[in-house]
Structure 1
Amino acid sequence: MFIFVHNLKKVNMNKNKTLQLALAGLVFMVLISACKHRNTTIISTNDNGNTKRIEYSGQVVFSKDHTGIDFISDGGYVKFERMGKTIAAENDGKGKVVYVYDGGHGSTTLDADGKQFLAEAVQEISKAQAKLNR
């Protein structure tokens, strides 16, 4: 009888260890999937007082003519600053790109000045990416 009880305790202990390991593995997988391992790229230059800062994360697709942004992945964004002027763009969660130009409010459209600055930003970002990929 003593041997049977001893073996039963051993089986229960092994089941508990297996359950604990499975639970720990599940928690680890949830934590890994919850953490979005996005690469963020930041390029900052100062050329005789001409400052420029580019920051982006996620997948960003520029228009074919390199004057706009066609797509930004969920959670992705682009920020461009030059000489005190800024533009930022991100996905609105519905597949559209939302812009914030010089401290304004988020909008899916830009005025003429904003479009011009966006085109300049996209061209500068494209050049910077090309330099990084060399």
Structure 2
Amino acid sequence: MKTLTINLIGIYMIVAMAACQGSHRHVVIKTGDNYNMTCIEYWGRVVFNTEGTGILHISPNGSVKYSHDNQQLVAESDYRGHITYRINGGEKEQQLSPPEKLFVASAIKEMIKHGHNDH
């Protein structure tokens, strides 16, 4: 009886982890050396547009962080899926200026180049 209980708990845990895997995944990609470092970190699912220049979707309460040298992008989704951006430690914003859009596009191309492939 004790073995059956332990087996059922194990099966329950495997099923629960499989059910949650898509929305709670955490991925970290780091490349470079002491002089030229790129770090990509995201929680949940991040989907880029087909051109690889914009973010179409971030799963609710998910985020993506990108940093290269002294530049940083943080894009976060609230529980409704609305995305806000923070560039180089600035204020959160939903609408980006043309130079900010170029930076985001460049960052996304680097993320894809380094292995992020949801698009």
**Superposition TM-score, scaled by structure 2 size:** 0.72
Q: What is the deviation of 1:47?
A: 4.1
Deviations 1:52-98 (A, max 9, x none): 11001211110111111010001211000011110010112332211
Deviation digits for residues 87-134 of structure 1 (CA, Å, limit 9, x no counterpart) = 01011233221101111111111122221111111111112226x9xx
2:95 is paired with a residue whose SS is: coil
Q: 1:77-92, aligned counterparts within 5 Å?
A: 77-92=63-78
- How many percent identity over aligned positions? 35
Q: Is 2:25 aligned against 1:39?
A: yes
The aligned amino acid for 2:90 is G
Bigger helix fraction: 1
* Structure 2 residue 101 is matched with structure 1 residue 115: yes
Q: What is the number of equivalent residue pairs in this alignment? A: 101
Q: Max radius of gyration: which structure?
A: 1
> What amino acid does structure 2 have at the position aligned with 1:88?
V
1:55 maps onto 2:41 in alignment: yes
Q: Which has the higher contact order (CA 8 A, sep 6+)?
A: 2
Answer whether contact 1:61 1:71 (CA < 8 A) is retained.
yes
RMSD of Structure 2 on Structure 1 (CA)? 2.5
User: Could you say which residue in structure 1 is the equivalent of 2:110?
Assistant: 124
**TM-score between the two structures when normalised by the length of structure 1:** 0.65
Amino acid at match of 2:88: D
Unaligned runs of 5+ in 2: 1-8
Q: Does 1:105 pair with 2:99?
A: no
Structure 1 unaligned residues grouped into runs of 5+: 1-24
